[in-house]
Amino acid sequence: MKDNFGQPAMLRFLVILTIASGTGLQAWMILFNNFAVDMAGLNGQQIGVIGSVREIPGLLALLIIYVLLIIKEHRLAALSIVTVGIGSIVTGFLPSYSGLILSTLIISFGFHYYETTNQSLTLQYFDTHQAPHVFGRLKSLAAAVNIVVGSLVFCLGYFFEYRTIFIVIGVIVIAVGCWGLFQNPVSKAVVVQHRHLVLRRKYGLFYFLTCMAGARRQIFIAFAVFLLVKEFNCSVTQIAALFVVNNVINYFLSPLIGRAIVRFGERRVLSLEYSSLILVFCGYAFANSLTVVMILYVVDHIFFNFAIAIRTYFQKVADPQDIAPSMAVAFTINHIAAVVMPVIGGALWMVDYRIPFIAGAVMSAISFLAVQWIRVPKIA
């Protein structure tokens, strides 16, 4: 990469913090359900409530705009990592329903606020040719971290109790976050960001695509695995293997997706995503084979990374000083569906499990039509 705006320092900063964020979140996710049942004795309804609570910080990402009035963005990113580590440690000491609600909020605030600042800093410090590559690298790195952390937790589980593992992971993550607090990867050449709410009509397509992506994500998260378990009796080992396969594939494919965005443009990449998702969701609804549905799940997971193109499209049409506040707004918009979709989809599932997936196919078709309106200025 060309040495514009001091990118090597910022890239190193984001890579290290991304590893820490992925380590804390992945370890927590692997341990959470077993910890909640074995140590806290939670039931299905309580797990569902905690799942909704987990999305609240994403819905409140808009508050980052006001946090940035008192703290610099790169320091907020590092502080968010510290928060993820604190959330991990707190989890081990609060094996109760209320305790897990509190620890979930803490770790979720850390994760969501880091992701918002991570995306914002990437778009600010890397130009339109570089940003897709950086996003692809970071996605690939996250997949690798998930594999390593999964193996690490698996090994630690043979020797230590839950609390000890949560503490070990938390201390490591906090140490990295503290390192980040003392770094200064910024450059004065980068455009100063607005410190107030930014909502512009010209970003309407970006807002719409972000909202639709959030809704599609929730159908995948809430119902795809549930479909495998409920309708096809998929075992725990099969689900675990599926997660490993997803991470291995994404490790290799994510950088290629970034290159594809640079070569073919956002409209073509997103058109491929949404036209393919129409078939994927229809497959979920009507396939009768476990193998077919598992393949659809892997393909569906691959297309998650195509959302990079929504952000790089915004980068090309946005005023440079709007990036930070707009990423905060986008995270809030994306998570509106996270609160509403599982409830609506769950009610529709009770009528017929196919309905949520048919709705996903319809939303994909609408998104496909919407991306045809993408127009970006030609950049040399």
What are the tens digits of pLDDT across the range 237-271? 677 788 888 888 988 998 999 999 999 999 999 99
Segment 337-341 shows an average pLDDT of 74
Predicted confidence (pLDDT) per residue in 173-219, tens digit = 999 999 999 999 988 778 888 777 888 899 999 999 999 998 888 88
Residue 379 covered by a domain: no
Residue 186 covered by a domain: no
Residue 68, pLDDT above cutoff 50:
yes
Rounded (10°) angle between helices 162-181 and 7-38? 160
Q: How far apart are CA 150 and CA 16, in angstroms?
A: 18
> Within this chain, do residues 261 and 124 fall inside the same structural domain, yes or no?
no
Residue 342 covered by a domain: yes
> Within this chain, do residues 79 and 45 fall inside the same structural domain, yes or no?
yes
Q: What angle do CA 168, 301, 230 make, to 5 degrees?
A: 90
Which pLDDT score is estimated for 3? 42
The CATH number given to whatever domain includes residue 212 is 1.20.1250.20
> Within this chain, do residues 45 and 177 fall inside the same structural domain, yes or no?
yes
| Cβ–Cβ under 8 Å, residues 156 and 165 | yes
> Within this chain, do residues 99 and 145 fall inside the same structural domain, yes or no?
yes
Which pLDDT score is estimated for 229? 79
> Within this chain, do residues 300 and 269 fall inside the same structural domain, yes or no?
yes
Q: How far apart are CA 328 and CA 77, in angstroms?
A: 13
> Within this chain, do residues 95 and 242 fall inside the same structural domain, yes or no?
no
> Within this chain, do residues 227 and 128 fall inside the same structural domain, yes or no?
no
For 198, phi then psi, to 5°, come to: -120, 115
Residue 300 covered by a domain: yes
> Within this chain, do residues 119 and 19 fall inside the same structural domain, yes or no?
yes
Domain count, the chain: 2
Q: Which of 152, 181, 210 is a domain's end point?
A: 181
Q: How far apart are CA 35 and CA 221, in angstroms?
A: 20
| Cβ–Cβ under 8 Å, residues 212 and 360 | no
Residue 97 covered by a domain: yes
Residue 107 covered by a domain: yes
Residue 367 covered by a domain: yes
Q: How far apart are CA 215 and CA 367, in angstroms?
A: 11
> Within this chain, do residues 244 and 342 fall inside the same structural domain, yes or no?
yes
Domain enclosing residue 133, as ranges: 7-181
Residues 6+ apart with CB under 8 A from 18: 118, 138, 141, 142, 145
Q: How far apart are CA 79 and CA 81, in angstroms?
A: 5
> Within this chain, do residues 177 and 212 fall inside the same structural domain, yes or no?
no
> Within this chain, do residues 271 and 319 fall inside the same structural domain, yes or no?
yes
Which pLDDT score is estimated for 380? 47
Label residue 348 by pLDDT band (50, 70, 90): confident
- Report which DSSP code applies to 59: H
3-state secondary structure of 239: helix
Predicted confidence (pLDDT) per residue in 128-158, tens digit = 888 899 998 998 999 999 889 888 887 888 8
> Within this chain, do residues 25 and 113 fall inside the same structural domain, yes or no?
yes
Label residue 103 by pLDDT band (50, 70, 90): very high
pTM of the predicted model as reported, rounded to 2 decimal places: 0.84
| Cβ–Cβ under 8 Å, residues 140 and 255 | yes
